[in-house]
Amino acid sequence: MEDKYLKKRFDVLSENNIDSGILETMDFKYPAGNTAVTIRTKEFTSVCPWTGLPDTAELLITYIPFKKLVEMKSLKYYLLSFRNVGILQEHVVNRILYDLSNLLQPKSIEVEARFESRGGLDTVVKVAYQSKAK
């Protein structure tokens, strides 16, 4: 008897479907300070690039703005664009860091994803960027 699950695979979207173009900014009026902004969601979802099974995570984005803040509604839509994208957990945080640091040019930014257990393993992936400008 053939195992029907060995051939099961859900369709996944490519990373080209991540919509960084939807991100918007607002002016930050206090660039001389070191205001830390932390954005947290427990509802981040992408999918495994091989099986299409969902990867869910608590996502934390912490940044110290320079001249720009990310507009929250646009960030929600951006994060939702990962929903059916096949992307490695380790690549998720790097892609978010890349897109947000290019958009905001912050003093610093850190992205951390705490992925739910899969096969008994929990994964926490963290990446940070520090501006070289003084």
Could you report the per-residue pLDDT of 80-90, keeping only the tens digit for each? 999 999 999 99
Tell me if 88 is assigned to some domain. Answer: yes
Predicted confidence (pLDDT) at residue 98 exceeds the cutoff of 80: yes
8 domain residue, yes or no: no
What is the tally of structural domains in the chain? 1
- Domain membership of residue 48 (yes or no) is yes
Q: Identify whether 19 is part of a domain.
A: no
The rounded percent of the chain whose pLDDT value lies above 70 is 92
Question: In which domain, by residue range, is 79 found?
Answer: 24-130
Instruction: Fill in the DSSP letter of residue 66.
Output: S
| 121-130, strands of its sheet edge to edge | 37-47, 54-64, 108-118, 121-130
Q: Write out pLDDT tens, residues 20-51.
A: 999 999 999 999 999 999 999 999 999 999 88
Six token digits for residue 49: 């690039």
User: Residue 73's closest CA among 24, 18, 111?
Assistant: 24
- Options 3, 11, 27, 48, the catalytic residue: 48
Instruction: Tell me which of 27, 55, 99, 122 is the catalytic residue.
Output: 55
> Is 48 labeled as catalytic in the residue annotation?
yes
Least confident of 60-64, 83-87, 104-108, 129-133: 129-133
Is residue 78 domain-resident?
yes
Q: Is residue 9 part of a domain?
A: no
CATH code, domain carrying 64: 3.30.1130.10
> 11 an active-site residue?
no
Any idea of the CA torsion for 88, 102, 66, 29, to the nearest 10 degrees?
-110
- Interval 100-105 mean pLDDT: 98
